[in-house]
Structure 1
Amino acid sequence: MHVCVLGAGIVGLATAWHLQREGHQVTVVDKATPGAGASGGNGAQLSYSYVQPLADPSIWSQLPKLLLAADSPLKLRPQLDPLQWRWGIEFLAACNPHTSRESTAALLALAASSRLGFEAMRADIAPDCDFSATGKLVLYQNAEGVEAAHRQVDLQRTMGSVQQVVSADECIALEPALAGYRERIAGAVHTPSECAADCLKVCRELERALRTRGVRFVLGTEVRGFDERQGRVAALRTDGEPVEADAFVVALGTASHAIGRKLGTSVPVYPLKGYSITLDVDEAPGAAPRVSVTDSARKVVFARIGARLRVAGMAELVGHDAGIPPGRIETLVDATRAVFPQLERYDELHPWTGMRPATPTGLPIIGHRPGTARNVLFNTGHGALGFTLAFGSAARVGDAVNALAA
């Protein structure tokens, strides 16, 4: 089959790679260059074994502080946008133990599949992407957080995850660069199998490899609509030439909601705006972390990518505002100075913002949607786990495409 993939972020490119490997003809369409959206400066962590959804029961007790504190990692700017209000209500409804457990199980299963897919891609194209497999530490600042971590680890252990709660001293033994933060660590979750990589480099390497294999890229092109015939989409209308195909996969991140409306369905995806900085680091022992680190209190992640440190965090429900307020970058710098006080190179920060496409439950939308043509599939709504889940969701889309072809 000829499959048109709408979107050249990591999810769309992983889908294109999988479909091409399955023997399909593939065209990728995007208004920008590969990885230019939410993939470009993301947190760089591949969190296959620690996928606790944002919609968690603990949100209720944290909500006043998260919404009202000036330095809160979660920010809400109410707008006259029905999607924002509907998404927020559905998100809060999902913050209950049952939904959180169900979402965690589903995300872990998808992440396990995605690990296999990512490794297959690495074996296939050998991307230059600063890949590392040094594990991850999720830090907690108080006994209450450590207790909640024990519960999450116990839950994920029943689902196959291998991880343990460790003390502050054990943290520092695993990652000496945390020594200056010792007094703020009550405990942590250590997952030795977690990985990291530069997602933008992966996107560029996928584009390079796919072009050599005959995948067509139509970039710098806006999607204008669809031509439907006899219950199927026959062509994609763009601001250039139409793109005809046998099947279409919508992997457009936060734009998927608007595209879904053109196709006759509601796609509950809303942007969770995040920020990152990327620092050059010294190679001196203990100066910068080798192990990936997540500070749960600050909602900030740290990932080593080659000779750089990616620092990312925050989640803002502010629509599609692509501005980068200096205060948000200062928050990331302050977090880095606090957690790793020995780092000194802040001359180049490379500030970035991206719109993570999130569903209320945290579960991505994969496959056919009611009300749409039968040859249209979706692969969107991965939130902050797009890099982690991309290759697993690509495999599921591949199964759906093969079913269409049967």
Structure 2
Amino acid sequence: MKQHIAVIGGGVVGLSTAYALIRAGHDVTLIEQNEDVGLGASYANGGQLSYRYVRPLADAGIPRQALGWMLKPGSPVSLRLRADPKQWRWMLSFLSACNRSTNRRNATLLLQLGLESQAEMATWRAEGLDGYFWRQAGKLVLYRNHTAFRKAVSAIQDPTLEQALSPAECTKIEPAFAHLAPDLAGGVFSPEDEVADSYLFCKALKTSLLSLPRFRYLPGQAALVPETGKNCTLTVDGTRVATDLVVLAAGLNSRDIAAPLGIQLPLYGLKGYSLTLRPSPETLPSVSVTDYDNRIVYARLGDALRVAAMVDIGAEDRSLTPDRLESLRGLVRQTLPGVSTSGTPDTPWTGLRPATPTGIPIIGRSRCENLLLNVGHGALGFTLAAGSAARIATMIGHAHSDGVQK
């Protein structure tokens, strides 16, 4: 049954949700508070579509490892403690998830969602969605630490989709990193993983949606107000918007939008950084690469190289922190000396990735019968967006096929 559905949030998750709902036959209004779509955490992320390498950050040994990082200048993780109950609740839940069994269970859940997302994206491309530098480049994760490499190999669930490689095999897969071979313990290669530009993907979705009469783009500030009964009311810039259902997919802003309904979303912003470089074409790696020990990803997007890294916990502003950017530039010079970060200016960026403590996004119904949630994707928003959107569309379809009015 066709319905009118409002989607709050014009990032990669919200736009994907709107697209999936349009494909399912619904009328959709997309609400975005910024001047255009894709300008938040979706704008300049790492560009990796890591469908198979989706292990949560929360794992055994991570708290001890993170303490070591925090004492090291330029470390992959920094922590700024605040007198903020949201931060402490999130961190306590994160610590409780830092064990091997929870990590493996959640990794299995993320893998399933990742594979669903890859299949959905393939369908969208087959239908003509393009223009965002998509490539099936494969993903190579490089390990310098032998213990971390053995742990990664033991976590491989399907050897046909994830291959354990020696240092020599790693450099054969991607010669741009060949000089690292003496320092490597090994690598894990996922040949079917992909890369694409998340911002251009958002723009492509918006362009496609605007061509359809059943879609409306509504700029403005969304708010949700509790009603008597079990529903909520949607307003945009103070004006009520009539709709059958609402899907909240506004990244970290979802936390504040849901709060008036008594819904406390366990989201916290993990600040990340990226550089976009345009080096000489012959220096660009072809394969998508993750330097695991430094937590840096490298993805070629057209004629550019996107380098993304770092997690700052407790940094709630989106300002570009000079020392963090200089640390990232220094690591790029060490890791890819053929790519000069001084000859050609880079474009720096930072964003707040909306993460749950477990790394598992919240996809489903809420305490309000007319509100669904699609939030908390953390650093995997682009990877999981299409699959999450398809799940939302399926939930709505099943509710009506069962004769349940939500």
Contact 1:247 1:401 in 2 (8 A): no
2:31 to 14, 29, 32: 29
Matches for 1:3-402 after TM superposition, within 5 Å: 3-32=5-34, 33-153=36-156, 156-157=157-158, 162-214=161-213, 215-219=215-219, 221-226=220-225, 228-233=227-232, 235-239=233-237, 241-284=239-282, 287-344=283-340, 346=342, 347-369=344-366, 372-402=367-397
Code of the aligned partner of 1:152: A
Structure 2: how far apart are the matches of 1:360 and 1:229?
32
**Shift in Å at residue 345 of structure 1?**
5.1
Structure 1: how far apart are the matches of 2:318 and 2:120?
32
**Shift in Å at residue 126 of structure 1?**
2.8
Structure 1: how far apart are the matches of 2:227 and 2:369?
11
Aligned partner of residue 242 in structure 1, secondary structure:
strand
Structure 1: how far apart are the matches of 2:9 and 2:322?
29
Taking a change above 3 Å as real, the CA distance of residues 225 and 319 of structure 1, as seen in their structure-2 partners, is farther
TM-score in terms of structure 1 length: 0.94
Code of the aligned partner of 2:207: R
Long gaps (5+) in structure 2: 402-406
Answer with 5-14 or 263-272: which moved more: 263-272
Deviations 1:133-189 (A, max 9, x none): 121110111211221121122xx22xx861111111111111111122222222111
**Shift in Å at residue 34 of structure 1?**
0.8
| Misfit runs of 4+, over 4 Å | none
Contact 1:288 1:340 in 2 (8 A): no
Contact 2:50 2:383 in 1 (8 A): yes
**Shift in Å at residue 223 of structure 1?**
2.0
Structure 1: how far apart are the matches of 2:308 and 2:319?
16
**Shift in Å at residue 265 of structure 1?**
1.3
Structure 1: how far apart are the matches of 2:146 and 2:288?
22
Taking a change above 3 Å as real, the CA distance of residues 60 and 231 of structure 1, as seen in their structure-2 partners, is closer
Deviations 1:94-133 (A, max 9, x none): 0001110110010000001000111111122331111111
Code of the aligned partner of 1:186: A
Answer with 272-281 or 65-74: which moved more: 65-74
Structure 1: how far apart are the matches of 2:77 and 2:112?
27
**Shift in Å at residue 229 of structure 1?**
5.0
Contact 2:223 2:257 in 1 (8 A): no
Q: Percent identity?
A: 41
**Shift in Å at residue 31 of structure 1?**
0.5
**Shift in Å at residue 45 of structure 1?**
0.1
Structure 2: how far apart are the matches of 1:342 and 1:181?
13
Contact 1:129 1:197 in 2 (8 A): yes
Contact 2:270 2:378 in 1 (8 A): yes
Aligned partner of residue 133 in structure 2, secondary structure:
coil
Structure 1: how far apart are the matches of 2:315 and 2:348?
19
Structure 2: how far apart are the matches of 1:229 and 1:348?
56
**Shift in Å at residue 319 of structure 1?**
4.4
Structure 2: how far apart are the matches of 1:330 and 1:161?
39
Answer with 343-352 or 261-270: which moved more: 343-352
Structure 1: how far apart are the matches of 2:177 and 2:64?
28
Contact 1:275 1:353 in 2 (8 A): yes
The count of aligned residue pairs is 396
Deviations 1:212-244 (A, max 9, x none): 01311112x1123326254223x4112153221
TM-score in terms of structure 2 length: 0.94
Code of the aligned partner of 2:368: A
**Shift in Å at residue 343 of structure 1?**
1.2
Structure 1: how far apart are the matches of 2:18 and 2:239?
20
Code of the aligned partner of 2:352: M
Long gaps (5+) in structure 1: none
